[in-house]
A and B are shown apart, each in its own frame.
Chain A
């Protein structure tokens, strides 16, 4: 009896990934389910394993961020930069005084809020894509080198990482922008410079543990060169971290860009950055709340979705749970 009871417990603990629904586990168990001591644990692990595609967040990312960024000019008849002063401060369409031409209302210069949000997605996407690519490439390269070789390289990289992570981004941005003026390039550079360190630190740590693993030792014994080991063994093992981190960092970058734009150190007006829109709506928040709410909601939803997708990716990329899908 004791042996038979231990069998389903083992299966539960090991989380056999091919048993997708959990019903097979139950079928093997002949112990009554109600007094199964592992019940709470199984519930927890089922939730973790039940990481199905996060449809809602993906939907939001596609329809609020990616599609508008690509298709903005075709999605709306309005100009994001120029409005008719006669159309100023029209409330959203479902309010009294709303106009079906301006679904989410207009700002005090008569520009359509929805149009500006759509074009704002473009700015958010470009800024985050460029910054993430730079940050990932620079950060993971330095992190891999530092973690793999250690010694003086590691000390220099770690010192740089600590230094850059202790820079106050907002102050730095304010100083730079007041010196050379706000522009697209400036904001991208500032954000890239601050996020590479996050990647470098994380990848360095993972590399340290992968470097000590037996499969790296085995590759060495088999005569593989350092470059081959880094590219073929270390990188694939840190790649899932990299992907997850990059996804989560997109959210951080969008937030950072919005914050900098909000305080005027980011995207120069009249470009329709979400941060700029929130900032501009601030003084009218009591009367024309839609100016602040909708771009704010866009930021919130997109960043939240990115974080949720990042969480899901972390589960998905784990080779222990990847199988059976």
Chain B
């Protein structure tokens, strides 16, 4: 579908869209605890292009949040260690930077929105204080007055009504949706190339959720930011993403365009996940579940990690981890029986 790899480019494209803004290759983050080594992120690769939204979906403990933290190198020290891989943002490998260099990348090239807006704002400062602080935190010579103007502009950009008034509010005076917008404005303060949203809407109620996802889209259209949305909610994926990566036990098991994943899931895990959604078009008395538990990340099986819960399991699945198979242009799945499913 995407023609960017065709041998003879007819149209000269904008150079930023020809190579992905974020290129992650074989990223591995292990947690070393006294109970053993937890392979939270275990060989993850993906690209995100400018203006594109990648959804990362998976159940609790599948390593999606640890993946997000690995991208900005804020995994909990000293337990977590990045073992291998690379994270290229616009050509530089973040994993090779010193901590000092990394600090100037965070917030400027790669920004993040955290899960709970009620916790993400400092309760003792007004919204204005915090926005100005965010705008000045990189010592880029923004003076007080411009910081103020840019803060108000930033609030307007994320659809906060009457931004001058909001600047004087304390976080506890605002609603969750409003706070999350403000957190968004702070994340966008430096016009980042990559924005990671870790469960941005879990703490919001459903209508506000939809509004917020729409807002992220609008912002993306305007700024051409590459967006990564981490969630466990396929509804959020359907509303906001271009592509989806399904994570299971630290690895991406299936990766492809949203429509294809929803219509023709090729990995049994994705299929099982989609089947366990509540649906309005099918009458059901009980939600389908996936039997069993995800494997312990400290003691992973040699073969496919989903084998014990998979209805399609064959002997070979338990012996060797499946190769990732390209099933169509940009759709891939890691399953031995991908052709049959």
Find the B residue at minimum CB distance from A216. B122
Contact of A63 with B by CB under 8 A: no
Find the A residue at minimum CB distance from B138. A223
Q: A136 to B82, alpha carbons, bound, how many Å?
A: 40
**Inter-chain contact B122/A224, CB cutoff 8 Å:** no
- Report which of B106, B121, B122 forms a contact with A223, defined as CB distance below 8 A: B106
- Report which of A222, A223, A232, A319 forms a contact with B123, defined as CB distance below 8 A: A319
Contact of B312 with A by CB under 8 A: no
Find the B residue at minimum CB distance from A219. B137
Q: A213 to B122, alpha carbons, bound, how many Å?
A: 9
> Interface readout for A208-239 with B: 1 if CB under 8 Å, 0 if not?
00000111011111111100100011001101
Contact of A51 with B by CB under 8 A: no
Contact of A6 with B by CB under 8 A: no
Contact of A163 with B by CB under 8 A: no
Chain A residues with CB below 8 A from B72, complex form = 221
Scan residues 103-124 of chain B and give those whose CB is less than 8 A from a CB of chain A.
Answer: 103-108, 111-112, 114-116, 119-124
Contact of B173 with A by CB under 8 A: yes
Q: How far is the CB of A180 from chain B (nearest CB, A)?
A: 44
**Inter-chain contact B105/A217, CB cutoff 8 Å:** no
Find the B residue at minimum CB distance from A220. B74
Chain B residues with CB below 8 A from A320, complex form = 123, 172
Contact of B187 with A by CB under 8 A: yes
A223 with B105, Cβ < 8 A, contacts A214-B114, A215-B119, A228-B137 known = yes
Q: A222 to B137, alpha carbons, bound, how many Å?
A: 8
Contact of B164 with A by CB under 8 A: no
Find the B residue at minimum CB distance from A225. B103
Contact of A323 with B by CB under 8 A: yes
**Inter-chain contact A223/B108, CB cutoff 8 Å:** yes
**Inter-chain contact A223/B103, CB cutoff 8 Å:** yes
Q: A223 to B138, alpha carbons, bound, how many Å?
A: 7
Contact of B183 with A by CB under 8 A: yes
> Interface readout for A284-325 with B: 1 if CB under 8 Å, 0 if not?
000000000000000000000000000000000001100100
**Inter-chain contact B106/A323, CB cutoff 8 Å:** no
Chain A residues with CB below 8 A from B272, complex form = none
**Inter-chain contact A214/B120, CB cutoff 8 Å:** yes
**Inter-chain contact B114/A218, CB cutoff 8 Å:** yes
**Inter-chain contact B186/A222, CB cutoff 8 Å:** yes
Find the A residue at minimum CB distance from B133. A232
Q: How far is the CB of A231 from chain B (nearest CB, A)?
A: 11
Q: How far is the CB of A15 from chain B (nearest CB, A)?
A: 11
Chain A residues with CB below 8 A from B107, complex form = 221-224
User: By DSSP majority rule, is chain A's interface helix, strand, loop, or mixed?
Assistant: helix
Q: A214 to B104, alpha carbons, bound, how many Å?
A: 20
> Interface readout for B173-188 with A: 1 if CB under 8 Å, 0 if not?
1000000000100110
Chain A residues with CB below 8 A from B215, complex form = none
Q: A223 to B108, alpha carbons, bound, how many Å?
A: 8
Q: How far is the CB of A237 from chain B (nearest CB, A)?
A: 6
Q: A236 to B112, alpha carbons, bound, how many Å?
A: 23
Scan residues 91-112 of chain B and give those whose CB is less than 8 A from a CB of chain A.
Answer: 103-108, 111-112
Q: How far is the CB of A185 from chain B (nearest CB, A)?
A: 37
Q: A218 to B137, alpha carbons, bound, how many Å?
A: 12
**Inter-chain contact A221/B112, CB cutoff 8 Å:** yes
**Inter-chain contact A223/B137, CB cutoff 8 Å:** yes
Chain B residues with CB below 8 A from A221, complex form = 72, 74, 106-107, 111-112, 114, 187
Q: How far is the CB of B45 from chain A (nearest CB, A)?
A: 23
Find the B residue at minimum CB distance from A317. B124
Chain B residues with CB below 8 A from A222, complex form = 106-107, 111, 134, 137, 186-187, 189
Scan residues 181-224 of chain A and give those whose CB is less than 8 A from a CB of chain B.
Answer: 213-215, 217-224
Q: How far is the CB of A223 from chain B (nearest CB, A)?
A: 4
Q: A218 to B111, alpha carbons, bound, how many Å?
A: 9
Contact of B262 with A by CB under 8 A: no
Chain B residues with CB below 8 A from A217, complex form = 74, 114, 120
Chain A residues with CB below 8 A from B114, complex form = 214, 217-218, 221
Contact of B32 with A by CB under 8 A: no
Contact of B321 with A by CB under 8 A: no
Q: A319 to B112, alpha carbons, bound, how many Å?
A: 26
Chain A residues with CB below 8 A from B189, complex form = 222
Q: A85 to B133, alpha carbons, bound, how many Å?
A: 67
Chain A residues with CB below 8 A from B104, complex form = 223
Chain A residues with CB below 8 A from B116, complex form = 214
Chain A residues with CB below 8 A from B172, complex form = 319-320
Q: A233 to B186, alpha carbons, bound, how many Å?
A: 15
Scan residues 128-173 of chain A and give those whose CB is less than 8 A from a CB of chain B.
Answer: none
**Inter-chain contact B170/A218, CB cutoff 8 Å:** no
**Inter-chain contact A215/B122, CB cutoff 8 Å:** yes
Interface centre among A215, A220, A224 (most CB of B within 10 A): A215
28 CB contacts below 8 A, A to B, read: A214-B116, A214-B120, A215-B119, A215-B120, A215-B121, A215-B123, A217-B120, A218-B120, A219-B137, A221-B112, A221-B114, A222-B107, A222-B134, A222-B186, A222-B187, A222-B189, A223-B104, A223-B105, A223-B138, A224-B103, A224-B107, A225-B103, A236-B122, A237-B124, A240-B124, A319-B172, A320-B172, A323-B173
In the A-B complex, list the 7 residue pairs whose CB atoms are closest, starting with the nearest.
A214-B119, A222-B107, A223-B106, A223-B107, A221-B112, A215-B122, A214-B120
| Additional A-B contact list (11), CB under 8 Å, known A215-B122, A222-B187, A224-B103 | A217-B120, A221-B74, A222-B107, A222-B137, A223-B103, A223-B108, A236-B122, A236-B124, A236-B125, A237-B124, A319-B170
